[in-house]
A = this chain, B = another copy of it.
Amino acid sequence: MQMKLLQDRIRKDGKVEKGNILKVDSFLNHQIDAELLDEIGKEFHRQFADRGVSKILTIEASGIAIAIAAARYFRCPVVFAKKTKTLNIAGDVYTSKVDSFTHKTTNDIIVSKRFLNAGDRVLILDDFLANGKAIFGLSDLIRQAGAELVGAGVVIEKGFQEGGKKIREMGVDLRSLAIVDSMDPETGVVFRDEE
């Protein structure tokens, strides 16, 4: 279910730029509004409270804020995957690859094997979903660990890109607090209608 408070904030303070870029850096991923963030954490908890979440997994950097805000309500640890160009060779990490839409680069992401275990019920949280590569990479780490992916939540989904569709088709219970179906520098953002 989408979150009206967030949609209103995106309409008010988000900036649409050419190339399908939605800048929310005044309240979500450079400067962060702590009160809005707390509401976001509370909303993710409301939507996933019944999943027996034992761990929240996200990816540095801006995902960390979202995960921390939610973890207060879930009362469970956060693990954040690290991006690295120099693959840790110690063999004590799970690794996957993530292409960044924003930065046009590919990163290896790693999580220490100590922090994802069989038996963990893992909720993935992140700020943005576009092509879905971050969530694919994180769910790959969860699979390697033999843990269970119990859901995924993102703050803003770019509904006109294919990531959300693909992830839902994989059977993942994906919840997006705002789904942008189209956007334009002149006319702004159109959110997906909900049933």
Point out residues on A near B: beta carbons under 8 Å.
Answer: 25-27, 30-35, 37-38, 60-62, 64-65, 68-69, 71-72, 74-80, 82, 111-112, 114-115
Contact = CB atoms under 8 A, between A and B. Distances in A.
Contacts of A60: 60-61
B64 A25 contact: no
A71 B31 CA distance: 12
B37 A79 contact: no
- In the complex, which of the residues A25, A26, A64, A115 has the most CB atoms of chain B within 10 Å of its own CB atom? A64
Nearest to A70: B34
22 contacts: A25-B112, A26-B114, A30-B79, A30-B82, A30-B112, A31-B112, A31-B114, A32-B68, A32-B80, A33-B77, A34-B68, A34-B74, A34-B76, A34-B77, A35-B75, A61-B80, A62-B64, A64-B64, A64-B68, A65-B65, A65-B68, A65-B78
Nearest to A35: B75
B30 A71 contact: no
A65 B37 CA distance: 12
A10 to B, nearest CB: 17
A127 to B, nearest CB: 11
Contacts of A65: 64-65, 68, 78
Specify which of A26, A30, A112 lies most central, judged by the most chain B CB atoms within 10 Å of its CB. A30
Given A61-B60, A61-B61, A34 B75 contact: yes
Contacts of A115: 25-26, 30-31
A72 B76 CA distance: 18
A78 B64 CA distance: 13
A59 to B, nearest CB: 9
Contacts of A25: 112, 115
A27 B27 CA distance: 27
